[in-house]
């Protein structure tokens, strides 16, 4: 019972935030200097046709009426019409989204695994050389612009040593490929983008896990465990790590924003055909509806991720429900 | 109140109170410095920052001495004969795609990058501290409203939002450094606001604030005399960390082509190298230096902020 009210509360919160972001997005678009009607058809249209166009797009209606019409069509899944691709924005984005999800999914898996592992290694050897090395390198990668690391990896490993392909997901020339060949080639192209992704986003997890573990290790129950005669290994594994994982889950959701930022930059450098490259193209062609659509979709994804993290958290840490 | 005080007595008492306050501040600052000096990471950060700030301040004098070129003035000119030359005795870090000296760009870039960093962090501090103070001290409806606003800005994915803002803010179609500063400032205040609010909530419950309320102090007086001085150290440590975020953010936005192409920054240098042949021609001398500078400066600010945090948060000191 208590559980249900908690979920409902969280869900309502998500919906309110979503509406607020949508409203912000709507007003930004309408505060834009210049006529949105001209954005679609281009500035070379005869001046006397502009009122007719404004009427056609419903831009002559009062703002509040436009607001509700617009909200209605968004709820029906229409995010507008791309000025450059001349296609439905949602279709343009969902096509690209699958590639981004592939990169982010694989990348996040390795990031969490490696990050938590290195965090435990560093946290349980506080002050030892290995700890210093892990924390030092994590901080360095944390301070590194993702796109710069991508450029450096491409220049050294692909352009100079020819170990990895230069860009994209597939070689465009090759046409007759077997199914396994396609998969293999895709994986081969994924190595560098995923590596960059893991390196730049891992540091957050390493530092968080390390600090949480260091914190937990000063707790009284750890002293009790030591007094009972447990081996240090057992203390770390059974008593410290499970408790140190809690804040890591809670704070993970907060870093999704930076992960999105990193992904966009990595995609641009590797010409990965996902959302990041779409941002790049849309900026180049000033395709504002697409930029706004991406903004909405990514915000939705982030809100859902936060919501999921909240729910997972209530299962692993019952204290937050009270 | 000031008017009712007899002039002579009031003035001297007030002056001595002020002197005592000053003395205490100096003692406190000296103590902080002693603790800071023992923090090796903090000192390392200070040295890095001093180097780069020195570099930024010396860019004009170095140019006047003829040691470096001014890339801001050379922005339109190009000398394709010496484009993308590797490091040599005349160009210590080689040249870029327009034949400009990379070292000069790096020195002048440090100035603009640091200006963006400090200015954006300043806006972040003002907005964050202001909203946090008001939310924490007024409470109830105001608190609820401002905290929901903070939540909203916290969940919005940073880069897509910054891109939208940078395209929409006037002057449209014209990228400018000022716009970048504004965009970074209004997207990064929420975490500061949260920290400040939390701090205000604990200070508000302390006895001396209650006493001030009992004597009849107004809201503005309590904020100005009791809350603000107590949250300032926290805001300061947080502001220093914001500078590092702002410098990274500038690099991201410049890399997407949202920065003024005539104002050289480290981010713009990387944008140029990626888009105009430096990267594809393997010009490591053009790609490496700006990135290394960004990493060093961000690390410097992070170290100093960590050290300050350790001093201001006694809870952390035992670690």
Write the pLDDT tens digit of every residue in B135-179: 988 878 888 889 888 988 888 888 888 888 888 777 666 778 888
Is A89:A293 a contact under the CB 8 Å cutoff?
Answer: yes
Distance from the A17 Cα atom to the nearest Cα atom in chain B, whole angstroms: 6
pLDDT at B299: 93
Is A193:A266 a contact under the CB 8 Å cutoff?
Answer: yes
Question: Which residue positions in chain B have pLDDT lower than 70?
Answer: 1-11, 66-84, 171-173, 313-319
Residue B270 sits at the chain A interface (C-beta within 8 Å): yes
Place of tokens 């009849």: B216
Q: Residue A51's pLDDT band (boundaries 50, 70, 90)? A: confident
Most B-contacting residue of A89, A126, A151 (CB-CB within 10 A), to test interface: A151
One DSSP character per residue, A230-298 reads --HHHIIIIIIHHHHHHHHHHHHGGGHHHHHHHHHHHHHHHT-TTHHHHHHHHHHTT-HHHHHHHHHHH
pLDDT at B73: 59
Residues of chain A found within 8 Å of residue B252, distances taken between Cβ atoms: 145, 147, 261, 265
Question: Is the pLDDT confidence value at A174 over 70?
Answer: no
Contact A155 B287 (CB under 8 A): yes
pTM (predicted TM-score): 0.85
pLDDT at B214: 85
- The residue with greater pLDDT, A138 or A51, is A138
- The residue with greater pLDDT, B38 or A114, is A114
pLDDT tens for each residue of A77-93 = 777 778 788 888 888 89
Q: Which residues of B209-232 are buried (b: 16+ CB within 10 A; e: fewer)?
A: beebeeeebeeeebbeebbbebbe
Lowest-pLDDT choice from A163-177, A183-197, B176-190, B253-267: A163-177
Task: Indicate whether this complex's ipTM tops 0.90.
Answer: no
Distance from the B229 Cα atom to the nearest Cα atom in chain A, whole angstroms: 29
Domain that holds residue A19: 2-33+79-321
pLDDT at B10: 63
Question: Is the pLDDT confidence value at A60 over 80?
Answer: no
The answer to whether position A277 is within a domain reads yes
Is A254:B155 a contact under the CB 8 Å cutoff?
Answer: no
Question: Is the pLDDT confidence value at A122 over 60?
Answer: yes
Question: Is the pLDDT confidence value at A149 over 60?
Answer: yes
Distances in Å between the alpha carbon of B143 and those of A254, B123, B135, B147, B155?
22, 21, 4, 6, 18
Contact A291 B164 (CB under 8 A): yes
Quick one: closest CA in B to A265, which residue? B252
The whole-angstrom separation of Cα A184 and Cα A163 is 15
**3-class DSSP state for residue B101?**
strand
Q: In sequence order, what are the residues at sequence separation of 6 or more whose Cβ sits closer than 8 angstroms to the Cβ of residue B239?
A: B121, B122, B124, B125, B192
Contact B155 A143 (CB under 8 A): no
pLDDT at A166: 66
User: Cβ–Cβ contacts within 10 Å for residue A241, how many?
Assistant: 20
Contact B294 A292 (CB under 8 A): no
Residues of chain A found within 8 Å of residue B290, distances taken between Cβ atoms: 148
pLDDT at B115: 93
Residues of chain B found within 8 Å of residue A306, distances taken between Cβ atoms: 155
Q: The tokens of A163 are what?
A: 């170990």
Contact B155 A302 (CB under 8 A): yes
Distance from the B219 Cα atom to the nearest Cα atom in chain A, whole angstroms: 31
- Domain B109-319 falls in which CATH fold? MetI-like fold (1.10.3720)
The answer to whether position A54 is within a domain reads no
> Mean pLDDT throughout A86-113?
87
Contact A265 B252 (CB under 8 A): yes
> Mean pLDDT throughout A289-314?
84
Tell me the CATH number at A103: 1.10.3720.10
Could you give the percent of chain A with pLDDT greater than 90?
8
- The residue with greater pLDDT, A209 or B85, is A209
Q: In sequence order, what are the residues at sequence separation of 6 or more whose Cβ sits closer than 8 angstroms to the Cβ of residue A99?
A: A169, A272, A273, A274
Distance from the A303 Cα atom to the nearest Cα atom in chain B, whole angstroms: 7
Q: How many CA atoms lie within 13 A of B208 on its CB side?
A: 7
Quick one: closest CA in A to B165, which residue? A28
pLDDT at A170: 58
Lowest-pLDDT choice from A36-40, A42-46, A124-128: A36-40
Contact A32 B168 (CB under 8 A): yes
Lowest-pLDDT choice from A53-67, A77-91, A257-271, A296-310: A53-67
Average pLDDT, chain A: 81
Q: The tokens of A116 are what?
A: 């938590």
Residue B161 sits at the chain A interface (C-beta within 8 Å): yes
Question: Is the pLDDT confidence value at A48 over 80?
Answer: no
The answer to whether position A66 is within a domain reads no
The answer to whether position A309 is within a domain reads yes
Distance from the B117 Cα atom to the nearest Cα atom in chain A, whole angstroms: 14
Is B151:A18 a contact under the CB 8 Å cutoff?
Answer: no
pLDDT at B183: 92
pLDDT at B261: 82
Report how many domains make up chain A: 1
pLDDT at B319: 41
Residue B178 sits at the chain A interface (C-beta within 8 Å): no
Residue B315 sits at the chain A interface (C-beta within 8 Å): no
pLDDT tens for each residue of A232-279 = 888 888 888 888 887 777 667 666 767 778 888 899 888 888 888 898
pLDDT at B1: 44
Q: Looking at chain B from residue 77 to 136, which residues have their Cβ under 8 Å from any Cβ of chain A? A: none
Question: Is the pLDDT confidence value at A1 over 50?
Answer: no
pLDDT at A68: 85
User: Cβ–Cβ contacts within 10 Å for residue A160, how many?
Assistant: 11
């Amino acid at each position: 019972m208590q559980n249900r009210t908690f979920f409902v509360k969280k869900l309502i919160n998500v919906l309110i935030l979503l509406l607020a972001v949508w409203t912000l997005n709507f007003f930004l678009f309408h505060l834009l200097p210049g006529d949105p009607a001209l954005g679609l058809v281009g500035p070379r249209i005869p001046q006397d046709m502009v009122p007719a166009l404004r009427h056609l797009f419903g831009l002559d209606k009062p703002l509040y009426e436009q607001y509700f019409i617009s909200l209605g069509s968004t709820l029906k899944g229409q995010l507008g019409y791309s000025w450059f691709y001349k296609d439905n924005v949602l279709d343009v984005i969902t096509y690209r989204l699958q590639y981004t999800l592939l990169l982010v999914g694989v990348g996040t898996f390795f990031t969490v695994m490696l990050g938590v592992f290195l965090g435990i290694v560093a946290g349980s050897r506080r002050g030892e050389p290995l700890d210093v090395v892990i924390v030092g390198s994590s901080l360095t990668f944390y301070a590194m612009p993702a796109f710069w690391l991508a450029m450096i990896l491409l220049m050294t490993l692909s352009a100079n040593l020819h170990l990895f392909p230069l860009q994209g997901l597939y070689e465009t020339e090759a046409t007759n490929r077997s199914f396994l060949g396609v998969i293999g080639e895709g994986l081969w192209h994924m190595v560098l983008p995923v590596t960059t992704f893991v390196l730049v986003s891992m540091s957050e997890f390493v530092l968080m896990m390390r600090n949480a573990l260091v914190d937990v290790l000063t707790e009284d129950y750890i002293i009790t465990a030591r007094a009972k005669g447990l081996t240090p290994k057992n203390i770390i594994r059974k008593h410290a790590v499970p408790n140190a994982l809690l804040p890591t889950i809670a704070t993970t959701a907060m870093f999704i924003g930076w992960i999105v930022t990193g992904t966009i930059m990595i995609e641009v450098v590797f010409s990965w055909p996902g959302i990041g490259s779409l941002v790049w193209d849309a900026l180049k062609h000033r395709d504002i509806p697409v930029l706004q659509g991406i903004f909405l979709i990514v915000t939705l994804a982030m809100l859902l991720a936060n919501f999921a993290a909240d729910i997972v958290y209530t299962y692993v840490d019952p204290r937050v429900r009270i | 109140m000031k008017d009712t005080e007899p002039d002579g007595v009031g003035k001297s008492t007030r002056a001595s109170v002020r002197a005592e306050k000053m003395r205490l501040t100096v003692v406190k600052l000296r103590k902080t410095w002693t603790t800071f000096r023992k923090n090796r990471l903090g000192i390392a950060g200070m040295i890095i920052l001093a180097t780069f700030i020195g570099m930024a301040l010396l860019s004009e004098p170095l140019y006047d001495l003829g040691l470096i070129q001014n890339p801001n003035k050379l922005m339109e000119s190009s000398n394709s004969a010496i484009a993308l030359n590797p490091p040599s005795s005349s160009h210590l870090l080689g040249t870029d795609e327009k034949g400009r000296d990379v070292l000069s760009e790096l020195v002048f870039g440090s100035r603009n990058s640091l200006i963006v960093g400090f200015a954006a962090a300043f806006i972040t501090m003002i907005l964050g501290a202001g909203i946090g103070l008001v939310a924490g001290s007024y409470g109830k409806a105001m608190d609820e409203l401002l905290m929901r606003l903070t939540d909203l800005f916290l969940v919005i994915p940073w880069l897509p939002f910054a891109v939208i803002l940078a395209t929409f803010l006037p002057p449209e179609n014209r990228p400018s450094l000022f716009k970048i500063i504004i965009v970074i400032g209004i997207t990064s205040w929420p975490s500061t606001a949260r920290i400040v609010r939390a701090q205000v909530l604990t200070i508000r419950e302390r006895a001396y604030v209650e006493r001030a309320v009992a004597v009849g102090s107004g809201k503005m007086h309590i904020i100005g005399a009791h809350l603000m001085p107590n949250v300032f150290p926290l805001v300061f440590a947080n502001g220093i960390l914001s500078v590092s975020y702002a410098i990274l953010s500038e690099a991201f936005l410049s890399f997407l082509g949202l920065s003024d192409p005539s104002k050289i920054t480290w981010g713009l240098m990387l944008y140029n190298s990626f888009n105009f042949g430096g990267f594809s021609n393997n010009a490591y001398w053009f790609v490496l230096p700006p990135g290394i500078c960004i990493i060093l400066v961000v690390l410097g600010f992070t170290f100093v902020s960590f050290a300050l945090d350790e001093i201001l948060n006694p809870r952390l000191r035992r670690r």
